[in-house]
Amino acid sequence: MMWQQYWTAFVTIYIREVRRFLRIWPQTLLPPAITMVLYFIIFGTVIGSRIGQMEGYSYMEYVVPGLIMMSVITNAYNNVASSFFSNKFQRSVEELLVAPIPNSIILAGFVLGGVTRGLAVGFIVTLLSLAFTTLPIHNIWITMLAVLLTAIVFSLGGFINAIYADKFDDISIIPTFVLTPLTYLGGVFYSVNILPDFWGYISLANPILYMVNAFRYGILGHSDGISIGLAMLILAGFAAVLSYYCLHLLRTGKGLRH
C-alpha cells in the first residue's frame, strides 16, 4: 500500500540521519557536552557565586534551563543544515526529489533527524547539569513540549539555510551572525526583568526569549513575565510557517535543481 511505501521512505531517511551523527559522535555529541560543562563551571559556579541569586533562584539553577535549550537549538539547527547541504552538494538530493514520495516525507525525515540530535545533546547536558545543581521539574508536559517545538523550529531553520547555501561556508553564517546573538540576548544568562524598560521591550521581539522562558517555566515554575500560552503559540506558529515555507522551496526546487 502507498502509506507503507511512504513510511518506509520516511524511516529510511530518518535512520540514515541518526546513524550519520551517531557514527561521528566525537564531533556531534561530545563537543557540545564539554562546552556546556565549561559554561556550568565558569558562569554557574565562578561568576554565579559572585552574582548570588537571580529571580529568587541560585544563579546556577537559573541559567541551567537556558543552557540546555541553547544546546538543543544549536545542535538541531546544525545537524539539518550540514546534512541536507551535504546531500545537495553531492547531488544525491536530486534522487530524493525524483523519487515517488511526497516532499513532506523528505522534510519530515531530515527534520526529525535534527530533532533527535538536538534532544540527545539536550539530554546529555541535562544529566551533566545534575552534577552542579538540582532540577525540580515543575511541569513535565510544558518542559517536553517547549523543547520539542524548539528543536522542530530550528531543524526547519537549518533546512532553509541548507537550501539557500551555495557553499559550505554559507551554512555557518546564520548560526554565527543570527543564532548566537539571539541566544545570548534571549534570557539565557539573565532575567529580562533587570533590563531598562526600552531594552526589555526590544527583547520581546526575540523569539528565543519565549522558548527559553517556556522551558525554564517547565523546570523551575518561573518565567520572566512571559505568558507560557503565548510562548507556546509563538513556537507552534513558527513551526507551521517554516514547515510551509520548506515545502514551498522543495516544490519549486529553489537552489536544488540545476
Q: Which domain holds residue 101?
A: 2-252
The number of angstroms, rounded, from the C-alpha of 161 to the middle of its chain's C-alpha atoms is 14
Q: What is the pTM of this model?
A: 0.93
- Look at residue 257 and tell me if it is in a domain: no
Per-residue pLDDT in tens (0 to 9) along the chain, 258 residues: 578 888 998 999 999 999 999 999 999 999 999 999 998 888 777 777 777 778 888 888 999 999 999 999 999 999 999 999 988 888 887 778 777 889 999 999 999 999 999 999 999 999 999 988 888 899 999 999 999 999 999 999 999 999 998 888 888 888 888 888 898 888 888 888 888 888 888 888 999 999 999 999 999 998 888 899 999 999 999 999 999 999 999 998 876 765
- Look at residue 41 and tell me if it is in a domain: yes
Look at residue 101 and give its three-state secondary structure: coil
Q: What is the largest CA-CA distance in the chain?
A: 64
Residues 43 and 25: their CA atoms lie apart, in Å, by 26
Number of domains in the chain: 1
- Look at residue 189 and tell me if it is in a domain: yes
- Look at residue 36 and tell me if it is in a domain: yes
Say which residue the cell 500500500 belongs to.
1
CA atoms within 13 A on the CB side of 17: 30
Bridge partner list, 57: 54
- Look at residue 258 and tell me if it is in a domain: no
The number of angstroms, rounded, from the C-alpha of 250 to the middle of its chain's C-alpha atoms is 22
